[in-house]
Amino acid sequence: MTPSVSLLVVAKAPVPGLAKTRLCPPATPAEAADIAAAALLDTLDAVLGTPRVRPVVALTGSLGDARRSAEIRAVLRRCTVVAQRGRSFADRLANAHADAHRAHGLPVFQIGMDTPQLTPALLAESVDRLAAHDAVLGPAADGGWWALGLHDPAVAAALRTVPMSRSDTGASTLRALGDRDTGLLPVLSDVDDMATAREVAAAVPHTRFAAALARLGALR
């Protein structure tokens, strides 16, 4: 089957002290990084199980210092991997869209590693929605967003003007897309704190993510 989009994951190497620090406490830095590694591996499983996509990962951080680095490296061999570029998170997102498009010449559908509840079916349905719109945006329950799909990667430059990691980031992103026909995807919770981590893990109990939380005792 001919791929229809580049399915881009913007990811951070799960290094203790740098990954999922808002889970500390109750998690230790190493435990938080284990949870981040599990979320990344679950996300990549969903991406690799999605039909008609080119998997691309825009990565920052040192995999050599990361938890579960061997597992992550093995999965990344099945993806196109590009380094994140830019000083701000918004710059890195915009550049990741450009680099993913440059790699394969396809529209780009971008997600992060904070939604380990994603499934190939939900990703396939969401990617298909892009065919009917100029752009698609997946709102997050905390006011941010979990997915952004664009036919034209140059449009991602609008992200440089959007304040990130705020309760109005989703609304600001929608405004930055202007008068383009933007379809809205289902609202998902992304994992930023322990309360949301518990909620997501309870919904997907058979994932690596839920197992990592269970080892921490966070579900009890």
pLDDT given at position 217 = 65
Q: Is domain 5-214 given the CATH code 1.10.10.10 in the classification? A: no
SS3 31: helix
Comparing CA positions, the residue from 155, 140, 59, 145 lying closest to residue 107 is: 155
And the tokens for 53? Answer: 């996509």
pTM for the predicted model, two decimal places: 0.94
Cβ contact 143:169 at 8 Å: yes
Letter for the amino acid at 142? D
Please state, in angstroms and as integers, the Cα–Cα distance from residue 66 to each residue in 32, 95, 155, following that order.
11, 24, 33
pLDDT tens per residue across all 220 residues of the chain: 677 899 999 999 999 999 999 999 999 999 999 999 999 999 999 999 999 999 999 999 999 999 999 999 999 999 999 999 998 999 999 999 999 999 999 999 999 999 999 999 999 999 999 999 999 999 999 999 999 999 998 899 988 988 888 888 999 999 999 989 999 999 999 998 999 999 999 999 999 999 999 988 644 3
